[in-house]
């Protein structure tokens, strides 16, 4: 689900790059770089189209019909590998995906929360919704936090406080778990001795064709909010993917789309709720302790 492009898309620097790669935040020692098939941004130009169509498997009809794609998992990894290692294309990774297990999605922004005690998200004694996983206090505090966030002034993507340095891209050597053949992996190793590991937004880029690879970090101090007496931290993303949630036993959504003044709350292990602007629960699908779905 898309959030606010006005607040989270890097409009101020996007025209400088051929390819924009949405990513989830990472603090790993080895960071996988991958162009996700579910969302990418490409410069609308003949040069970029021509470069992408030079990929060996699609460069002409004979190649497309006769050369098999090598991966049996998903051909998107071959596009990713080709795009990132193609020195003729500039690219920028942008922190975009909400990664937290607890998040709120609205038609004007998607937000993730850390510090959530999931045991506090079960079986609240709500007379109207007995299976609600949130209290009215939690709902109202989160709604107010979202409203306050939306009123904040947008800042430049790259600021004078940012730090950057060159890194190397490693081809086919990623040491972590993968869902595709290792030969298509591309990753780099951040230098945490030079830049902070936490509380930053992390970017990777090739600014110009045949240019060096640069990592840049921008400070992102934690934003603390109080939720029914507990302290959570809050971030905003460009979109929510629901990659893990859609496989949970509780997964289900109402037939009608979410409204402009509604809030879609999910906790990955616990369930889904939709709230109205007053914190009332209009839809609920919550996993009970035995894993069964209760609606």
Tell me, what DSSP letter sits at residue 118?
Answer: G
> With contact defined as beta carbons under 8 Å apart, do 4 and 146 qualify?
no
**Dist. CA 1–CA 107, nearest whole Å:** 9
**Dist. CA 277–CA 139, nearest whole Å:** 10
User: How much is the pLDDT for 288?
Assistant: 65
> What is the average pLDDT score of the chain?
89
Tell me, what DSSP letter sits at residue 154?
Answer: P
> With contact defined as beta carbons under 8 Å apart, do 33 and 204 qualify?
yes
User: How much is the pLDDT for 94?
Assistant: 97
pLDDT digit string, tens, across residues 169-181: 999 999 999 988 8
**Dist. CA 167–CA 179, nearest whole Å:** 25
> With contact defined as beta carbons under 8 Å apart, do 99 and 202 qualify?
no
Band of pLDDT at residue 206, cut at 50, 70 and 90: very high
- The dihedral region occupied by 101, where left means phi > 0, alpha psi between -120 and 50, and beta the remainder, is alpha
**Dist. CA 144–CA 263, nearest whole Å:** 11
User: How much is the pLDDT for 277?
Assistant: 96
Q: Which residues 6+ apart lie within 8 Å of 252 measured at CB?
A: 272, 285, 293, 295
**Dist. CA 285–CA 64, nearest whole Å:** 45
User: How much is the pLDDT for 4?
Assistant: 95
For the residues 227-251, what does the mean pLDDT come to? 91
Bridge partners, 144 (sequence order): none
Strand pairing category for 91-95 and 19-23: parallel
pLDDT digit string, tens, across residues 152-168: 888 899 999 999 999 99
Band of pLDDT at residue 5, cut at 50, 70 and 90: very high
Strands (E), 3-43: 19-23, 31-32, 41-42
pLDDT digit string, tens, across residues 121-160: 654 444 344 456 888 899 999 999 999 999 988 889 999 9
**Dist. CA 14–CA 43, nearest whole Å:** 9
Candidates 289, 201, 236; CA nearest to 103 is 236
Bridge partners, 283 (sequence order): 274
pTM above 0.85, yes or no: yes
User: How much is the pLDDT for 269?
Assistant: 85
Band of pLDDT at residue 23, cut at 50, 70 and 90: very high
Candidates 80, 66, 40; CA nearest to 184 is 80
Tell me, what DSSP letter sits at residue 142?
Answer: H
pLDDT digit string, tens, across residues 46-89: 999 999 988 887 788 887 777 766 655 556 888 899 999 999 99
């Amino acid at each position: 689900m898309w959030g606010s492009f006005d607040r989270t898309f890097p409009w101020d620097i996007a025209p400088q790059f051929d390819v924009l790669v949405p990513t989830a935040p990472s603090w790993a020692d080895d960071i996988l770089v991958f162009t996700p098939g579910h969302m990418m941004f490409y410069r609308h130009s003949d040069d970029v189209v021509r470069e992408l169509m030079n990929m060996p498997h699609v460069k002409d009809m004979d190649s497309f019909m006769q050369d098999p794609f090598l991966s049996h998992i998903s051909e998107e990894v071959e596009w990713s590998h080709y795009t990132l290692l193609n020195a003729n294309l500039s690219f920028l990774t942008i922190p975009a995906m909400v990664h937290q297990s607890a998040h709120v999605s609205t038609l004007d922004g998607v937000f993730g929360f850390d510090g959530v005690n999931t045991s506090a998200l079960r079986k609240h004694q709500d007379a109207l919704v007995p299976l609600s996983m949130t209290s009215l206090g939690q709902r109202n505090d989160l709604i107010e936090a979202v409203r306050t966030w939306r009123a904040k002034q947008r800042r430049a993507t790259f600021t004078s406080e940012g730090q950057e340095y060159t890194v190397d891209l490693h081809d086919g050597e990623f040491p972590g778990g993968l869902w595709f053949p290792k030969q298509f992996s591309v990753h780099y190793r951040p230098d945490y001795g030079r830049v902070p590991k936490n509380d930053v937004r992390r970017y990777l880029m090739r600014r110009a064709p045949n240019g060096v690879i640069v990592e840049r970090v921008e400070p992102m101090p934690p934003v603390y909010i109080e939720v029914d007496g507990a302290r959570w931290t809050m971030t905003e993303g460009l979109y929510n993917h629901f990659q893990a949630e859609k496989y949970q036993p509780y997964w289900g959504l109402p037939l009608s789309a979410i409204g402009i003044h509604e809030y879609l709350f999910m906790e990955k292990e616990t369930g889904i709720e939709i709230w109205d602007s007053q914190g009332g629960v209009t839809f609920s699908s919550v996993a009970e302790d035995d894993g069964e779905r209760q609606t």
